[in-house]
């Protein structure tokens, strides 16, 4: 049976080589981020600035969207507003049919994963090839991205070597240089022959209609230059007001995402190829996607839409490090995914994700926008409990009893004294608790309660 909950999925991931690889890579990325941030003194000020820009934009989103769409059109691009995944997918496949498109090349984009665009286009008989090295490996292995920035963080080079030997017909080599060279050659001929290129959008600039992609490999530049049609899919929240704001976001994104001062190719595109230019796409289409975002915006978790998808919170999260990205079952894993997924796609299916957190707060600390992820996780938990109250009915009598004891000093002291007796009887660690409490001790031990409460100790010694 296919696992349907975080708990079921995570059981399959724990202690595998996959999560060992993820653990290593996330620790390295975290160290790189901290180093890059410390190396640039204005970084903390830039984070404050970035937060202001993002929140201001969200609070005025409909005005900025209208301005952005007008700017894109003035620059010669087309704009389509898609209410949901189906509308966005239909627009792209219809455009491909109208223009006689046969082959499509894509650069890495989480929003296209979100709407299942590849699957949709393939069902219409179109060839779609992922061009980011990591996404290409995901595609040819039939896997799913495990991380929003590093899709094959869970694989080691030996797995990739076997895959390339089988799929690309190259001689077996586990040297990353040789693997890269084989992918470059294979993908280049696809780039040069593609009719349509599909990219995501890191940021859209409202006052100029500029869209940006950031990649280290250069695949987004090829995707948006060699084919005659460029389609950019953008989540509706990914705007900034102007060029000055964009610079702040770009520097903050690179340092937080990969620990780079700037990404190798920060690509700014305004409209299609101009009449006097030698290359670039003949047509530019920008698809602006809602798909649950207006619902999230109207909620108490609106702040989550300030996210710039750097992945820093995934890298520091103890749950992500141990369970990996696939345990979340969502395109968006980790702390951000545990808020975003139910906020966008509903609690009926995803209501357990906000519970996949120890609320340690490392995510809030790492977030370049200082999004209060722990508070948003609590908001989402409350929402889940409201909707799924029945399933957690067993908690209610226990919590009611606890409330009664904890709010009455006499009962509370008696409770503590009972704990002391219990502690005396069981030694330092409790390894097996009865009933629901056994959920805790089935995977870890619990320190036994002290034999004397602080309250009674204080009374004896200082009272």
- 70-89: contacts with other proteins (CB under 8 A): 75, 79, 81-83, 87
Strands laid side by side in the 78-82 sheet: 78-82, 283-289, 229-235, 196-199, 103-106, 127-130
Distance CA 64, CA 207 (A): 8
Angle CA 321–322–326, to nearest 5: 85
Stretch that binds other proteins, among 113-121, 297-305, 322-330, 435-443 (CB under 8 A): 297-305
Kindly state whether residue 44 participates in binding other proteins, applying the rule CB under 8 A.
no
Closer to other proteins by Cβ: residue 10 or 210: 210
- Examine residue 143 and tell whether it contacts other proteins (CB under 8 A): no
CB contact set of 28 (below 8 Å; sequence gap of 6+)? none
Counting beta carbons within 10 angstroms of the beta carbon of residue 296, is it exposed (0 to 12), middle (13 to 18) or buried (19 or more)? buried
d(CA 329, CA 117): 18
- The answer to the question of residue 41 lying near other proteins (CB under 8 A) is yes
C-alpha–C-alpha distance, residues 445 and 430, integer Å? 6
Report the nearest approach of other proteins to the CB of residue 194 (Å).
8
Nearer to other proteins, 243 or 421 (CB): 243
User: Is 113 a residue that touches other proteins (CB under 8 A)?
Assistant: no
Q: Which is nearer to other proteins, 144 or 228 (CB)?
A: 228
Q: Does residue 97 interact with other proteins by CB under 8 A?
A: no
Q: Tell the smallest beta-carbon distance from residue 317 to other proteins (Å).
A: 18
Strand partners, 197: 105, 230
144 in contact with other proteins (CB under 8 A): no
Question: In the window 167-196, what residues touch other proteins (CB under 8 A)?
Answer: 176-177, 179-180, 183-184, 187-189, 191-193, 195
Minimum gap (Å) between residue 166 Cβ and other proteins = 16
Could you give the string, one character per residue 361-380, with x where binding to other proteins holds by CB under 8 A and - elsewhere? -----------x--------
Work out the number of other CB atoms within 10 angstroms of the CB of residue 99. Answer: 13
Q: Which of 15, 100, 169, 397 binds other proteins (CB under 8 A)?
A: 100
Size of the site for other proteins (CB under 8 A): 114
Residues of span 145-164 touching other proteins by CB under 8 A: 150-152, 155-157, 160
Q: Which 254-293 residues touch other proteins, going by CB under 8 A?
A: 258, 260-274, 276-280, 282, 288, 290
**Residue 306 or 319 having the CB closest to other proteins:** 306
């Amino acid at each position: 049976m296919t696992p349907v909950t975080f708990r079921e999925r995570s059981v399959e991931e724990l202690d595998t080589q996959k999560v060992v690889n993820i653990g290593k890579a996330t620790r390295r990325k975290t160290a790189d981020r901290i180093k890059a941030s410390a190396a640039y003194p204005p970084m903390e000020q830039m984070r404050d600035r970035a937060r202001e820009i993002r929140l201001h934009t969200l609070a005025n989103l409909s005005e900025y969207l209208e301005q952005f769409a007008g700017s894109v059109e003035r620059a010669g691009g087309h704009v389509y507003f898609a209410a949901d995944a189906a509308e966005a997918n239909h627009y792209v496949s219809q455009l491909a049919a109208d223009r006689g498109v046969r082959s499509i090349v894509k650069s890495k984009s989480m929003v296209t994963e979100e709407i299942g665009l590849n699957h949709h286009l393939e069902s219409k008989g179109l060839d779609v090839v992922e061009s980011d090295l990591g996404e290409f490996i995901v595609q040819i292995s039939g896997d799913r991205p495990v991380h929003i920035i590093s899709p094959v963080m869970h694989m080691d080079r030996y797995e990739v070597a076997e895959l390339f030997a089988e799929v690309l017909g190259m001689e077996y080599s586990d040297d990353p240089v040789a693997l890269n060279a084989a992918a470059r050659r294979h993908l280049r001929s696809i780039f040069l022959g593609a009719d349509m290129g599909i990219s995501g959008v890191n940021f859209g600039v409202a006052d100029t209609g500029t869209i940006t992609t950031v990649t280290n490999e250069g695949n987004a530049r090829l995707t948006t230059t060699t084919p005659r049609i460029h389609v950019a899919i953008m989540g509706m929240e990914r705007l900034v007001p102007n060029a000055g704001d964009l610079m702040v976001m770009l520097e903050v994104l690179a340092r937080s995402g990969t620990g780079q001062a700037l990404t190798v190719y920060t690509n700014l595109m305004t409209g299609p190829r101009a009449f006097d230019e030698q290359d670039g796409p003949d047509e530019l289409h920008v698809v602006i996607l809602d798909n649950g975002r207006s619902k999230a915006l109207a909620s108490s978790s609106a702040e989550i839409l300030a996210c710039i998808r750097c992945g820093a919170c995934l890298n520091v999260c103890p749950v992500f490090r141990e369970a990996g990205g696939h345990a979340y079952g969502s395109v968006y894993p980790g702390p951000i995914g545990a808020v975003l997924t139910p906020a966008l796609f509903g609690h009926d299916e995803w209501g357990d994700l906000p519970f996949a957190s120890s609320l340690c707060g490392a995510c809030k600390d790492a977030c370049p926008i200082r999004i209060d992820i722990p508070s948003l996780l609590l908001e989402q938990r409350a929402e889940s409990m409201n909707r799924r109250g029945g399933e957690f009915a067993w908690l209610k009598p226990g919590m009611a009893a606890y409330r009664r004891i904890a709010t009455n000093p006499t009962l509370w002291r008696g409770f503590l004294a009972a704990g002391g007796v219990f502690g005396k009887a069981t030694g330092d660690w409790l390894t097996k608790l009865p009933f629901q409490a056994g959920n805790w001790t089935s995977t870890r031990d619990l320190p036994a309660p002290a034999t004397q409460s602080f309250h009674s100790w204080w009374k004896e010694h200082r009272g």
